[in-house]
Amino acid sequence: MGADSKPDRRLVVAGHGPAAHRLVEALRERDTAAAWTITVIGEEPRAAYDRVALTTHLEGADLAYPAHGGEVAVHTGERVTGIDRGARTVTTSTGRAVPYDALVLATGSSPFVPPVEGRDLPGVFVYRTIDDLDAIREYARGKATGAVVGGGLLGLEAARAIQGLGLRSGVVEVAPWLMPRQLDEGGGAMLRRHIEALGMAVHAGTPMRGLEEGEDGSVGRVVLTGGTEIDAEVVVFSAGIRPRDELARGCGLPVGERGGVVVDASCRTEDPAIWAIGECALIGGTVYGLVGPCFSMAEVVADRLLSRDSTAVFGGADMSTKLKLMGVDVASFGDPFAGPGDALGVTYTDPVAGVYKRLVVSDDAQTLLGGVLVGDAESYGTLRAYVGGSLPGAPEQMLFGGTEAAGGDLPGATVICSCNNVTAEGIRCAISEHSLTDVPGVKECTRAGTSCGSCVPLVKRILDAELTAAGIEVSKAICEHFDYSRAELFDIVRAGRVASFTQLVEEHGTGRGCDICKPAVASILASLGNGHILAGEQAALQDTNDHFLANLQKNGTYSVVPRVPGGEITPEKLIVIGEVARDFGLYTKITGGQRIDLFGARVEQLPEIWRRLVDAGFESGHAYGKALRTVKSCVGSTWCRYGVQDSAAMAIRLELRYRGLRAPHKLKSAVSGCARECAEAQSKDFGVIATENGWNLYLAGNGGMRPRHADLFATDLTDEQLVTYVDRFLMFYIRTADRLQRTATWLESLDGGLDYLREVIVDDRLGICADLDAAMARHVGAYSDEWRDTLDDPERLGRFVSFVNAPQTPDPSIAFEVERDQIKPLPLEVKR
């Protein structure tokens, strides 16, 4: 089927919906040699239009796609009725025979109407086309009640439309909750609360028995199997779709058992001249009903038609979706239904605000599998971009937008717009090649954000990152409450001696703050040593883990991580850790950072555990904070025959110096005693490798999701030079980095990169080295262990209870089983 095999080849497209329109546009864009003449035959009386926005037709919106230019013949109001595969012609409803060299079936689907009594009564409609909506609007005049059968995406859109026509409406859904294909039970329940609050009745979990006549012989009510009757003078069926595969059946092409034209990964049927795309195609055993996969199929066929050597295939589909239903943000991405044993669920519910959020992660909590957002879907774009990849932060932080990567950090292959299959790299290239400076320009050039629109916030973030890289000024406001970047807020707090968030927002911001600015300001205040993080107002600003100075785990328990500087520990201290773990029944694990984690502590047990550890000489390891975590080391010259410096002693010195140092993100370090690099220093935020003449310092490395080798900053440093440069590096990073920005991305964002950083830290180009030195000296002099400080303060200790009204009562939902002679958490039972 290559374009070079025969000139002026004839393509016939049966159907003119969104998939057909995309196919024709893709061919026109790529077929520079005009190898194909295109004929489109569509049965609706109008050309292709945007079905995603169908409901807005009742509000006067123009849904029409731009008309095809060039040599494209579009025949509306005409239907393909038969295919002669031998003669390679199609017959139409007007009696015409149209020849083809390639035929693409894009006939879409038809609404499914269950075979219930009364389905043919006047006043019963389906919700599929503009004509359907026009008929509903005309019939609804003078009517008072309506009902929609089907609580999926289109059914809720239909219910919104019925209500907008002035009818008192309700929704009937056979599944136990609304939107069962996209939402889990918790998300469906929260959505139901929103919809019922709008005055719309929801009947879920009960099948419909049939429809009954009203007094005028038209439909009058919906009857459920339990006997419930719902008054409805207008009934709209939106209970699913069925692929329109009658043309394939008529000419002997294989179809699926439940419908759909069988095609291979290239969207070709068993007849090499016939293809199928969109909702009529059965590909990999699945019929896809979302616009994104349908568009992807169109792109595949366009590539195949234009190149004999094309290897384009349909590689599956992102079924993520985001929409606003009756004013309620609803989103689903990835696989939100992975069950116990396969995945873990992290859930947040706020019944007062009407918010439900759930992330599904792999059983090792390292990979994002999917999720559901109801009531607040602001983080949808970023979360969807990470599906299938490593988590850039703790799952509970990601629920509130606490992701590390900004738009500019996302890998190029990340699909940003699933509707139009636009990647991050595609957007970046368009911005660069066409000098784009605003979102409308990006949308026009790439199609990203032009279908459902859910990816627009992420498109904006990528645009901002690209403009900044190009030297074009964009707003750096941290959020709507402050017109300043994090670095600017840091300077405001430092110079103005601001002591609290309330003071900062009153003097330099607006409103009450949000989940973006509050933790950022809390980090700034902590970095400047403005009090214990659980003191007064500070406590309310902290992230989840900081609230309890421990890491929250999936079953509601916490892990406790005492500091072990440089990984060096005495036998006596090892015994204490073992005794604490034994006495409190904790799970123990040695980490890659040369520490011992103790898992499974209930919140009311934390102070008791800390007291035992503090009495033995331990202190907080700050595993819960955006702070220094560890300085890893090898044994160095003290023990190792290859060591050239005492790496363990230097690691301990650095860790004790920077312990408790709050930063925009967590910090990790390591010291290796020779070039064999056993401590893996070059993957750390700051790493040190011994030489015969001193120390080599490496900066801004990063392990994890997007590994980055640290850059060699300085060589053969003395002990004092090394400490001085690390001091300045850390303080300059803390002052100037964005919120949740790791040192690796921070260095990449600096104009001039490593050379500029060297000028600032070594040459004092900005004249701030003395200030940086003094800031670090203040931190070192003011350090106090957060665990010990909490134990000494009865008011702070009062927060460590499972139940405020029963402080001594443990949480009964926490349960364990034993595996490999240690405890293992059982999943929390979800209470609804």
Say if CB 276 and CB 267 are below 8 A apart.
yes
pLDDT in tens, 753-790: 899 999 999 999 999 999 999 999 999 999 999 999 99
Residue 24 has pLDDT above 90, yes or no: yes
Region 158-181: mean pLDDT is 88
The domain covering 9-111+243-306 belongs, at the CATH homologous superfamily level, to: FAD/NAD(P)-binding domain (3.50.50.60)
- What's the confidence (pLDDT) of residue 527? 86
Region 420-427: mean pLDDT is 84
Roughly what angle, to the nearest 10 degrees, separates helices 439-446 and 456-469?
A: 110
For 507, list phi and psi in degrees, rounded to 5: -90, -25
- What's the confidence (pLDDT) of residue 221? 92
Residue 401 has pLDDT above 80, yes or no: no
pLDDT band, residue 541 (cuts 50/70/90)? low
Which of 264-273, 484-493, 521-530, 799-808 has maximum average pLDDT?
264-273
Instruction: Tell me the HSE value of 96 on the side-chain side, using a 13 A CA sphere.
Output: 12
**For the chain, percent of residues with pLDDT exceeding 70:** 89
CATH number 3.40.50.300 is the correct assignment for the domain at 318-402 = no
SS3 773: helix
CB within 8 Å of 396: residues ≥ 6 apart: 346, 348, 544, 552
Task: Retrieve residue 523's tokens.
Answer: 């980090």
SS3 263: strand
As a CATH number, domain 405-474 is: 1.10.10.1100
Residue whose tokens read 């390679």: 88
pLDDT band, residue 402 (cuts 50/70/90)? very low
- What's the confidence (pLDDT) of residue 816? 86
SS3 110: strand
Residue 2 has pLDDT above 70, yes or no: no
Least confident interval from 44-53, 453-462, 563-572, 764-773? 453-462
CB within 8 Å of 670: residues ≥ 6 apart: 631, 632, 633, 651, 679, 680, 681, 683, 684, 687, 688
Single-letter amino acid, residue 690: A
Q: CATH topology of 318-402 equal to that of 405-474? A: no
- What's the confidence (pLDDT) of residue 161? 87
Say if CB 751 and CB 792 are below 8 A apart.
no
pLDDT in tens, 691-734: 999 999 999 998 765 678 999 999 999 999 999 999 999 999 99
Roughly what angle, to the nearest 10 degrees, separates helices 501-508 and 517-527?
A: 110
Q: What is the pTM of this model?
A: 0.54
- What's the confidence (pLDDT) of residue 804? 44
Residue 601 has pLDDT above 50, yes or no: yes
Element containing residue 494 per DSSP (H, E): helix 486-496
**CATH number of 124-239, picked from 3.40.50.620, 3.40.50.720, 3.50.50.60, 3.30.365.10:** 3.50.50.60
Compute the distance between CA of residue 651 and CA of residue 622 in angstroms, rounded to an integer: 17
Q: Is 452 annotated as a binding residue?
A: no
Residue whose tokens read 């384009």: 312
Region 345-349: mean pLDDT is 85
Q: Is 634 annotated as a binding residue?
A: yes
CB within 8 Å of 657: residues ≥ 6 apart: 723, 780
Burial of 100 (0-12, 13-18, 19+ CB in 10 A): buried
pLDDT band, residue 77 (cuts 50/70/90)? very high
Element containing residue 19 per DSSP (H, E): helix 18-30
Say if CB 716 and CB 693 are below 8 A apart.
yes
pLDDT in tens, 657-690: 999 999 999 999 999 999 999 999 999 999 999 9
Beta-sheet strands, E only, within 96-153: 97-99, 102-105, 109-111, 124-126, 145-149
Single-letter amino acid, residue 708: R
Task: Retrieve residue 596's tokens.
Answer: 């011992």
Going by C-alpha positions, the residue among 481, 460, 482 that lies closest to residue 378 is 460
Q: Is the Cα dihedral 414, 416, 417, 420 positive or negative? A: negative
In the chain the first and final C-alpha atoms are separated, in Å, by: 56
The DSSP call for residue 479 is B
> Domain residues of the chain, as ranges?
9-111+243-306, 124-239, 318-402, 405-474, 486-542
Q: Is the Cα dihedral 671, 676, 680, 686 positive or negative? A: positive
Single-letter amino acid, residue 233: E
Q: Is 674 annotated as a binding residue?
A: yes
- What's the confidence (pLDDT) of residue 326? 63
Single-letter amino acid, residue 496: G
DSSP string for 398-413: HTTT--S--GGGS-TT
Compute the distance between CA of residue 14 and CA of residue 41 in angstroms, rounded to an integer: 5
